[in-house]
Homo-oligomer: A and B are copies of this chain.
Amino acid sequence: MIDIIYVLEMVGIVAFAISGMIVARSKNMDPVGVFTIGFITALGGGTLRDLIMDNHPLYWIKHEEQPMLILAMAVVFSYWKKAERLRESRIVFPDAIGLGVFSILGAQLALDLGHSWFVASLLGVMTGTFGGALRDTLCNEVPYIFRKDQIYASISFAGCWLYFVCQWFLDNEVLPLTIGLLFIVIVRMLAVRFDIRLQRDSHSN
């Protein structure tokens, strides 16, 4: 079980770091800015999760290869010419993967620590959305979680509950993780593609 969670964590970190670095480059930040935004996006959600659940040492302090990987990525992104031309719309897919991975992993850690499904789903949403919210705030964008034109946090919430239900019915550890994760990534991509939202707007906002 350790292994698949570790692998997923790395996937989520790489995906969120890419999303952060694309935004940082599109804002024309210098290499330190690129690293900082990548670091905060990739590790922000998990840091909040571990602080709230008093889970020390923090995961990236225990696994220092994670910040090292982000540092290496920042060097590549900063000096790789093509990265400058990546449009911000390219972050949707890596952001969806990061959202999926960290939502499920945050919820799963909360369950492991003995919390209820409800508390675990809240912690899943926080873990999944916080890094991206920091990225958007620091780069002067409105965070997805507060944009009315797209569903975001509610997909994370639904995915966590799907994961709990699957875990309840299936006698398997990997399958529920995979289902919850794929649900979030796919529904998020569909929501962006087909412009699905929770509330139609009467005002022009």
Chain A residues packing against B (C-beta within 8 Å): 28-33, 36, 47, 51-54, 56-58, 61, 64, 67-68, 78, 115-116, 118-119, 122, 138, 145-146, 148, 151-154, 197-199, 201, 203, 205
Contacts and interface: CB of A to CB of B under 8 A. Distances in A.
B36 A47 contact: no
Given A57-B54, A61-B115, A153-B36, A30 B197 contact: yes
Nearest to A61: B119
A122 B39 CA distance: 10
A30 B78 CA distance: 37
A152 B29 CA distance: 13
A80 to B, nearest CB: 14
A205 B28 contact: yes
Contacts of A31: 198-199
Given A61-B115, A64-B118, A122-B67, A148 B199 contact: no
Contacts of A201: 28
A54 B51 CA distance: 9
Contact of A29 (B32, B54, B61, B148): B148
A90 B186 CA distance: 41
A29 B122 contact: no
B28 A64 contact: no
Contacts of A118: 64, 67-68
21 contacts: A28-B203, A28-B205, A29-B146, A29-B148, A30-B197, A30-B198, A32-B145, A32-B153, A33-B146, A36-B153, A51-B51, A53-B57, A53-B61, A54-B54, A61-B115, A61-B119, A64-B116, A64-B118, A67-B118, A67-B119, A67-B122
